[in-house]
Amino acid sequence: MRKEFVVKKKKVVIIGGVAAGPKVGSRIIRLEPDTDVTLIEKGEFLSYAGCGLPYYISGVVKEQKELMSTPVGTVRDTVFFQSVKNVHVYNYTEALSIDRNNKKVNIRTLKTGKEKILDYDILVLATGAAPINPPVKGRELKNIFTLHGVEDAEGIKAFFSEKNAQNVTIVGGGLIGIEMAEAFHMLGACVTIVERLPQILSFLDEDIAVLVSKHLLEKGVKVKTNTTVTAFEGDGKVEKVVTDKGAFESDIVIIAVGVRPNVILAKEAGLNIGQTGAIEVNEHMQTSDPSIYAAGDCVQTRNLLTGKICYMPLGSTANKQGRVAANNICGKKDVFSGVLNTAICKVFDYGVGVTGLSEKQAKKEGYDIVTVLSPSPDRAHFYPTAKPIMMKLVVEKESRKLLGVQSIGSGDVDKRIDIAVTAITAGMTIDQIANLDLSYAPPYSPAMDNIITSVNIARNKLDGIYEAISPQEVKEKIERNDDFIFLDVRSPQEYETIKIANTMLIPLGKLRKECENLPKNKEIITFCKISLRGYEAALILKARGFSNVKVMDGGIMMWPYSLIQK
């Protein structure tokens, strides 16, 4: 008789069902449809867009199901994963322990308490991260929330539907805190952000972060930096927030001070935990056990510029890592090389984006750098929908390579950040970027795109054509009462609309005639709205024998300080 052989199906168990986990499962089934894939999720909801929660709370996203639906509107629930993806899902289920020697996972159904053992050939950890809960007195009071899942969002929405919250406090000025500020403002609340660091959005340089703070203040959001929350007070529910700078009333508090990776399961299983506190993985997303992969907010990664290990929990990164893990599980060699710590968020009318190294980070890493502040419209200036964006570039002097970009404003910030990501990843110099064949038409960009203009300023600086000084340095000179001429070369009409104190006005068109009245032994700092005319003024003065002339980077658009007069 002929002997029949039964081919054993490969068993893959995935722990975690929000971002990386569902991506791993879906990709495996696409590559190897006969694989036995089981997904374990502690909560109810699967494959939802956690980054969309602030917009669900504000009402911009109308229904909860939109956060967990496919582009055609199908909800990604347990039935969807079973019928469409052929992935078996246990939700409301907790993974208790991993037996690496026997390749087994012990799970427990939360509703019944019933335990079960699952065998695996390959295990994937996509356990994500948990919100940091600082041990502040009064934390147990009601109406103090974090925002880390659909359940949290529903609790916050329920509070607002039942009560008229007048005062909202957000503890933490990071991405979630800033996005939630806008959400609550849209709901009609008075919002206060409390941040213990000297600035909000710590990944930005101070001169850019302060422009974001200025925009928040203009929208009515109070920003308290260098301030630490010491207690919450109230009778059963929060009524007051106490800080080291004083106390104020609050009806609801959102704690958004960051997250830490969920690694308890991995640690108890004896897997290597990295220096960031997240799971250590190689470029194929394998842990220290070759049969166990990990992806998403529970793992550490590598900075593409410095080569150093870092922790950067983002939904976009989790999905990419999930795909890489699945490819390798299926024998399709793939690599996740690392990140540039790219991030972007919406702050009322502003987009705020960053990639690569900030000035502060680059100096800390020992780079010899030059920086550029460059504001300009995101489309042809004459096109009706043109809006301003303000950019900061960080460039290494010797190699002339772009190291980082920060960009904010009401124009298309994301486009310029994504160009920068591509350029930095490719190791391009500013000279190469300056001649990129970017698309141009007045409705979409200036003839010289914002990033091209910015790198050309950097080239002028490195080539000795353009000598600049930052707004922060100018402010410090004013505060020291340094003897210099702060020369505004805008038109009289512009000057009367908005001006900086202690300046001298000579419009650019009159400078050639009137410059002879200026003392040649004094330092002169020129500027205009964006410092393009300031640059031309400096060239005129230097051609007339003025040797100590600088241009204030960024002009009045990137001057964030209180010395402005209207």
Question: What contacts 393, CB < 8 A, 6 or more positions away?
Answer: 371, 372, 374, 402, 404, 405, 430, 454, 455, 457, 458
Task: Take residue 282 and report the two structure tokens written for it.
Answer: 């190689």
Residue written as tokens 């960024």? 554
Question: How far apart, in whole angstroms, are the C-alpha atoms of residue 390 and residue 403?
Answer: 17
Cα separations (Å) of 216 from 211, 346, 387, 566? 9, 11, 18, 19
Q: Residue 445's closest CA among 382, 379, 524?
A: 379
**In what helix (H) or strand (E) does residue 242 lie, and over which residues does it extend?**
strand 240-243
With the C-alpha atoms ordered 13, 18, 20, 24, is the resulting torsion angle positive or negative?
A: positive
Q: Identify which of 150, 153, 174, 183 has the alpha carbon closest to the alpha carbon of residue 47.
A: 150
- What stretch of H or E contains 24? helix 20-31
C-alpha span between 391 and 406 (Å, rounded): 6
Please tell me which residue in 51, 298, 345, 515 is annotated as part of the active site: 51
> Which 3 state secondary structure label does DSSP give 324?
helix
The helix/strand/coil state of 5 is: coil
Largest CA-CA distance found in the chain, in angstroms, rounded = 111
Closest-CA residue to 322 (of 12, 77, 83, 75): 12
| CA within 13 Å, CB half, 200 | 31
Signed CA dihedral, 330, 331, 332, 336: sign only: positive
Contact (Cβ atoms closer than 8 angstroms) between residue 75 and residue 53: no
3-state secondary structure of 536: helix
In 3D space, the residue among 509, 405, 384 whose CA is nearest the CA of residue 453 turns out to be 405
Separation CA 296–CA 563 (nearest Å): 45
409 close to 351: Cβ distance less than 8 angstroms:
yes
Number of H-type helices and E-type strands within the chain: 16, 32
Phi/psi of residue 215, each to 5°?
Answer: -65, -40
- Residue 444 region, left (φ>0) first, then alpha (ψ -120 to 50), else beta? alpha
Residue 532, classified by CB atoms within 10 Å of its CB into exposed (0-12), middle (13-18) or buried (19+), is middle
Q: Would you call 528 a catalytic residue per the annotation?
A: no
The C-alpha angle 296, 297, 298, rounded to 5 degrees, equals: 95
- Using DSSP's 3-state secondary structure scheme, residue 262 falls into coil
Q: For residue 223, give the amino acid letter.
A: V
Strand partners, 118: 105
Active site residues: 51
